């Protein structure tokens, strides 16, 4: 009987030690997951919510802020070589009809640096107006965009209604 009691006590101690170690491993995994998300997510950038649309003219002169006055506008910033841009460009092209049917204009700015190929252009053209540039432009600076992909949704009043690196977050329930 003493032998069984000792065995049960030792087994209980081992189970408690296992639970403590498992809890420590789970906590460490959660911390690591948080760090990975921070590392892979581009920093929050862009105009703050409620800010007015900055004055701009696209590098090729196709569009200016004055052309967009009074209409809701979704502006997307993309770059060739960006690993997250193709998926977001596909989402934009897939939802373009839905977006424009709600009266929202769609404009995409695509930066294609020297030595890179334009693989996003055909997809982005399906979504609306595409403005291409060979270097990060003054338009990106005006919108305070520091990473691609980035989306900014302006309401009809010309103020930022939503912004994010993910199209789904910007459109929300729209």
94 and 146 belong to one structural domain: yes
Residue 73 lies inside a defined structural domain of this protein = yes
CATH number at residue 86: 3.40.30.10
**pTM score, whole prediction:** 0.73
Cα(93)–Cα(82) distance, integer angstroms: 17
Burial class (CB in 10 A: 0-12, 13-18, 19+), 166: middle
Q: What is the dihedral of CA 171, 95, 47, 144, to 10 degrees?
A: 150
Cα-flanking dihedrals φ and ψ of residue 70, to 5°? 85, 0
Residue 13 lies inside a defined structural domain of this protein = yes
Residue 58 lies inside a defined structural domain of this protein = no
Walk along the chain (174 residues) and give the pLDDT tens digit of each residue: 888 889 889 999 999 999 999 999 999 988 888 777 666 655 566 789 999 999 998 888 889 999 998 899 999 999 998 889 999 999 999 999 999 999 999 999 999 887 778 889 999 999 999 999 877 778 888 999 888 899 999 999 999 999 999 999 999 845
């Amino acid at each position: 009987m003493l032998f069984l009691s000792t065995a049960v006590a030792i087994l209980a101690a081992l189970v408690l030690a296992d639970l403590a170690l498992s809890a420590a491993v789970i906590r460490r995994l959660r911390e690591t997951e948080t760090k990975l998300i921070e590392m892979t997510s581009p920093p929050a950038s862009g105009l703050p919510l409620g800010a007015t649309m900055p004055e701009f003219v696209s590098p090729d002169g196709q569009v200016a802020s004055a052309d967009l006055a009074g209409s809701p506008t979704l502006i997307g910033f993309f770059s060739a070589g960006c690993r997250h841009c193709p998926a977001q460009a596909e989402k934009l092209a897939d939802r373009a009809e839905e977006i424009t049917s709600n009266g929202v204009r769609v404009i995409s700015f695509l930066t294609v640096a020297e030595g890179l190929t334009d693989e996003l252009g055909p997809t982005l053209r399906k979504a609306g107006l595409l403005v291409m540039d060979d270097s990060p432009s003054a338009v990106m600076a005006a919108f305070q965009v520091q990473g691609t992909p980035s989306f900014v949704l302006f309401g009809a009043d010309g103020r930022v209604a939503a912004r994010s690196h993910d199209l789904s977050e910007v459109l929300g329930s729209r």
